Chains A and B, each alone.
Chain A
Amino acid sequence: MTSGLWDLVLKGIWTTIQLLVFSALLAAAVSFVVGVARTHRRWIVRFLAGFYTEVFRGTSALVMIFWVFFVLPPAFGWQLVPMWAGTLALGLTYGAYGSEIVRGALKAVDPAQQEGGIALSFTPWQRMRLILLPQAVPEMIPPFSNLLIELLKGTALVSVMGMGDLAFSANLVRLALQESAEIYTYLLLIYFVIAFLLTRVMRGLEKKLKAGVGKAPQRGVAAHELKRAETTGVSGGGVA
């Protein structure tokens, strides 16, 4: 490969990483807001949050991307730059999956903790902030780590819309060089390396957060993989 083509691939990697970071941030924000809203006292808030989750988990991420690129602009009269359109579609979709993780982790906190907060006459917001979230967040990290890998795989979808991410630039290189096998093998390897690095970072984060509440990180591969089986795609308990 010539250096010009490598430059193209490097730009693609950079776009993919940017998109990954932005949509992960949006997805995290959406998951916490919607996940916490699903434990709200008022039924209407719970209902709206549940409705959001069902709708965004029900559609395909690619259909969502098409919708944001083609239906939003004429409907509202403004057009997003591709990066923000991709971020919006991916963040909203994966945020819906993430909200299930947040809800599950909040539900898994020992009810006595919640009651303790009530006995101390904490406000609901104080209970959430000081009691529930600090204990629930470390438990969310392994499923969030799996979701982050799913999101990384999801970023490849924007290449269908012609956005210059890693998969798109690799396609351009393939057209230039006419060597599919080599280019696509490199492409898969690059995605695999990014996914591997992300898993490492998230494992370190889990260790740090769990040490903060006096727990050891999850031991053994089997438990980790089981969690993944539950949380990727559609979560185990509340089926899509």
Chain B
Amino acid sequence: MKWDWNAVSDFMPHFWDGLLVTLQALALGSLISFALGLVWALLMRTPTRWVRWPVGVVTEFVRNTPLLVQLFFLFYVLPEWGVTFSALTTGVFAIGLHYSTYTMQVYRAGIEAVPAGQWEAATALNLPRVRTWQVVILPQAIRRVIPALGNYVIAMLKDTPLLMAITVLEMLGQARLYSQEHFQFTEPLTVIGVAFIVISCLASLLLRALERRLVH
């Protein structure tokens, strides 16, 4: 096995470019999945089954099909319908949509964990429905679920390389491009592999600290 440090230093500028794109996709994807997941969770609590049933079916479908195929779908089908986004935008949206079906369950668990007494107190105080959600239920529910949401951010980080398949030059995309140009596969791929381990370990340490702060 030959290890060439020159290849590593040549690859590093590309690596930083790729890291930036990865982190951008991760940050935006997380925001979309947090927001959309909350919307799904709230829709699943509406009294009419004409809302609950379609939302349930759609989210179950999205959760049980591969993100890669969903990426292809959005990337190749949307332009046919006359909607054109950049590859990165499409990818961010696909990741956000896919993971919103997971965060939705996290929110649901958080909402269900709010004691019934809180609901009863809100009713006794004659708080309107919207107010009850805004100031009583959601603040307590969301505080509880932040660590679980953080776990999905780490899971999302590990799914960002899929964006390479729709031509986004994130870390893996940069590594592949570099490898094909210079015919050196070992170094770039190992560098980004190590980078993924380091980032996800750092993120999980951060998350554990956050969890301790929120619990106490």
Contacts and interface: CB of A to CB of B under 8 A. Distances in A.
Interface in A136-187: 149, 152-157, 159-160, 167, 170-171, 174, 180-181, 184-185, 187
A59 B68 contact: no
A228 B103 CA distance: 11
B65 A192 contact: yes
B18 to A, nearest CB: 12
B191 to A, nearest CB: 10
Interface stretch (B8-16, B130-138, B157-165): B157-165
B64 A192 contact: yes
A229 to B, nearest CB: 5
A75 B2 CA distance: 7
B1 A63 contact: no
Chain B interface size, as a band, is 35 or more
A195 interface: yes
Given A63-B161, A67-B193, A156-B69, A233 B154 contact: yes
Contacts of B192: 63
A187 B176 CA distance: 27
Chain A interface size, as a band, is 35 or more
A160 B68 contact: yes
Residues of B contacting A: mostly = helix
A62 B161 CA distance: 7
Contacts of B193: 59, 63-64, 67
Nearest to B62: A188
Contacts of B152: 233-234
Given A63-B192, A188-B69, 12 more contacts: A57-B200, A62-B172, A66-B172, A74-B1, A153-B68, A157-B66, A180-B80, A184-B69, A222-B112, A229-B148, A234-B154, A239-B154
Interface of A: 54-55, 57-64, 66-67, 70-71, 74-76, 149, 152-157, 159-160, 167, 170-171, 174, 180-181, 184-185, 187-188, 191-192, 195-196, 222, 225-226, 228-230, 232-236, 239-240
Q: Give 3 nearest A-B pairs by CB, closest first.
A: A233-B155, A58-B197, A156-B66
